[in-house]
Structure 1
Amino acid sequence: MVRRKQAVTIKHVAADAGVSLQTVSRVINNVANVSADMMSRVQASIDRLGYVPSIAAQRMSGSRSYIILAINDRERTIADWQMRLGTDWVDQMLLGGMTACAEYGYRMLIELVDTHNDHVERELGAALTALQPDGVIITPPHSDNPQILALLQAHDIPFARIGSNGADGLGGIALTMDDEGSARRAVRHLVALGHRAIGFIAGPADYQLSGWRVDGWRAEMAAAGLMAEDHLLATGDFTFEGGAAAARALLGCAVRPTAIIASNDQMAFATLEVARELGLDVPGDLSLVCFDNTPMVRFTRPPLCAIDQPVAETTARAVQMLLGGKPGEEPATMLVNVPGNLVVRGSTAAPYAASLATT
């Protein structure tokens, strides 16, 4: 008969460190009145013995649950999983959130909620009651949903809103990924290549960040002395089909754009397909930039120039703000901006570079 290895308990840690059970408990729960020397001594025993604190035991020792709950859009997340689209928003969110939570002895769980569901209050309320999280991270479009925000406030649960600037006064820690600045960066790159007619495919209006990206496009076009004309702007819905319709609208104009910025990778993939249908070469006839920088953009032909959104870093920052923050900061009014960067690949070039090279 194979014997199960005896689990290391708090008693083993106390005996190894030569301290009381109460002292070990205070160290595990980060109680303030433990000296640095004692903290180091107990932590050394924890590391040496490989002790892993039980969440159940931690919850019994105080009012904390040691759980951070992340709320993501159910419909879009499940659709992406089922279609195996290669989007990695959830992966990056879990990477940043779980890694940061581990530093505080926390666990991060994810709950999928349909923001358009009439039963959202009942469903989310049941999850909050069952899990009793110490904090909640909300992703777009939930981060702008007054019903969800009011429910969290009613439960007196601190929350962080990714994709919100907090200007609506609905509370929480607001975190943005510099959507406006990223759009400006993309336009700036294309202008430097010589483009003047730069189209933009926006995301749906129920995402606040969609408007910020359009604002950035308009502002940088104006800064370059260019007109952000109506025929250069089309709206999609973050899906391939929506992106295809928007791309056809832009490329079907009498004076088509020489470059397009798509607000996510799926709409950029669709734009690539529409360009091929119309006999347009990318980047010879049309330059293309997208948001997200998910893994698939590296394997298109050509690989897509993309705004890399720091999802993992932003989620980690949300955890840090919920569980600690920085000295002197007031989380309820804090706005955190985590800027992305432009990854230049083969989908952008000077306008009509291919045709010019053959003449």
Structure 2
Amino acid sequence: MSKRSTIIDVADLAGVSIKTVSRALNDAPHVNAETRKRIKDAAAALDYHPNIAAQSLIARRSYLIGLTYERPSPSYVVELQNGALARLENSRYRLVVLPFRDVANRPTELGSLLLRAGLDGVILAPPACDQHELLSMLDRQKLPYARITPHREMDRGIVTVIDDIEAGRAIARHLLELGHRRIGIVMGDPSHAASAARMKGYRLAFVDFDAELNDELIASGDFTYDVGYASAAKLLHQSPRPTAILAQNDDMAVAAMAAVRDLGLSVPGDVSVAGFDNSEVSRTTWPQLTTVRQPVNEMAWDAVDRLIAMLDANSGEQASPPLRGDHPYELIVRASTAAPR
């Protein structure tokens, strides 16, 4: 077999130093356009592909970006990973996925896991993004991080956010505008700050309509289908039953629709149902689910992009990025909600 091309071969063919080849292929500054083109043409002619492991040894960087999350819906995970992977495509960085359970009770254990993984930086999805002890640990160890939809300590690290309060307010207002007043609510995991923020939005919507929010119609949940079903069934057995159910994510909303049907009732004829996220299941269930679009894919892409820019700034390759990215939510009205009978 012929010998694999090396960076030395590229440098010889282009007539430059190895260091210049490295800077050009990594799109670092201070390489003029003509030289950069000559180096890239030489690399293409030699079918040269940089060895990431070798780059890591030379630069004393791993080029690994971590992504950690806790027990979200499958659709949320897919959106999260797809957004991160889309940004890393054709870059020198690779993604390491590190799911972790019970973050709120084990923040230092997660911190130790992240620090042992040899990462250059990490993306913290809820609820890790709001764990003070974890953030302090990463700060002390100087591991850069980006936080997706945090609700606390917004001045720490990179953040990409939507306004969960206003998003919750918008979907609750939709049901109130249809004429619903007896609205059941299935809460999310209490360790996720978004759950409390969305609930605050619901309450604001009831104030907007001078309507009373019945606390007996608020059921606990944890963002999973099974608990969502049990909570919705409990609400539906009340007398009088709610005319609408507002679930804090789409998985629990779809579970509520199943609970409605299992009682011989129809959606939205007897009970309207609304969710949150605009995940794949909201579009494939029948009737399609009214929900709020949370741009998880875009927020993950943005978080990774800002984190990489920070890492490159720390190594002197470019200017520091803005630390905050705000993303819009969107109320999506579909067939699962209608005026009460």
Q: Verify same fold: TM over 0.5.
A: yes
Q: For residues 210-232 of structure 1, what are the alpha-carbon distances to aligned partners after superposition, in whole Å with 9 as ceiling and x for unaligned?
A: 01110111112222332223133
Give the whole-Å Cα distance in 1 for the aligned partners of 2:292 and 2:44.
Answer: 40
Give the whole-Å Cα distance in 2 for the aligned partners of 1:239 and 1:264.
Answer: 9
**TM-score between the two structures when normalised by the length of structure 1:** 0.82
Partner of 2:142: 156
Deviates more, 1:199-208 or 1:216-225: 216-225
Give the whole-Å Cα distance in 2 for the aligned partners of 1:115 and 1:190.
Answer: 33
Task: Evaluate the alpha carbon distance shift between residue 213 and residue 44 of structure 1 in structure 2; reply closer, same or farther with a 3 A threshold.
Answer: farther
Partner of 2:22: 25
- Verify: 1:345 aligned to 2:340, yes or no: no
Q: Which of 282, 291, 309 lines up with 2:294 in the alignment?
A: 309
Q: Which of 308, 326, 334 lines up with 1:323 in the alignment?
A: 308
Deviates more, 1:256-265 or 1:312-321: 256-265
Deviates more, 1:147-156 or 1:310-319: 147-156
- Verify: 1:209 aligned to 2:209, yes or no: no
Q: For residues 119-146 of structure 1, what are the alpha-carbon distances to aligned partners after superposition, in whole Å with 9 as ceiling and x for unaligned?
A: 76356425523x4222111111112223
Secondary structure class of the residue paired with 2:89 = helix
**CA-CA distance at 1:50 after TM superposition:** 5.1
Partner of 1:69: 66
Number of positions where the alignment pairs a residue of Structure 1 with one of Structure 2:
335
- Verify: 1:195 aligned to 2:180, yes or no: yes
- Verify: 1:109 aligned to 2:96, yes or no: yes
Secondary structure class of the residue paired with 1:210 = helix
Q: Which of 7, 10, 21 lines up with 2:7 in the alignment?
A: 10
Give the conservation status (yes or no) of the 8 Å contact 1:182–1:339. Answer: no
Secondary structure class of the residue paired with 1:261 = strand
Give the conservation status (yes or no) of the 8 Å contact 2:103–2:110. Answer: no
**TM-score between the two structures when normalised by the length of structure 2:** 0.86
Q: For residues 98-135 of structure 1, what are the alpha-carbon distances to aligned partners after superposition, in whole Å with 9 as ceiling and x for unaligned?
A: 22123542111111223359776356425523x42221
Give the whole-Å Cα distance in 1 for the aligned partners of 2:201 and 2:320.
Answer: 28
Deviates more, 1:183-192 or 1:215-224: 183-192
Where do 5+ consecutive residues of structure 2 fail to align? none
Q: Which of 87, 92, 116 lines up with 1:100 in the alignment?
A: 87
**Aligned-pair identity (%):** 36
Partner of 1:243: 228
Task: Evaluate the alpha carbon distance shift between residue 39 and residue 229 of structure 1 in structure 2; reply closer, same or farther with a 3 A threshold.
Answer: farther
Give the whole-Å Cα distance in 2 for the aligned partners of 1:22 and 1:242.
Answer: 57
Secondary structure class of the residue paired with 2:146 = strand
Secondary structure class of the residue paired with 1:281 = coil
Give the whole-Å Cα distance in 2 for the aligned partners of 1:321 and 1:256.
Answer: 47
Q: For residues 156-182 of structure 1, what are the alpha-carbon distances to aligned partners after superposition, in whole Å with 9 as ceiling and x for unaligned?
A: 01111213134376x222222332222
Task: Evaluate the alpha carbon distance shift between residue 123 and residue 340 of structure 1 in structure 2; reply closer, same or farther with a 3 A threshold.
Answer: closer
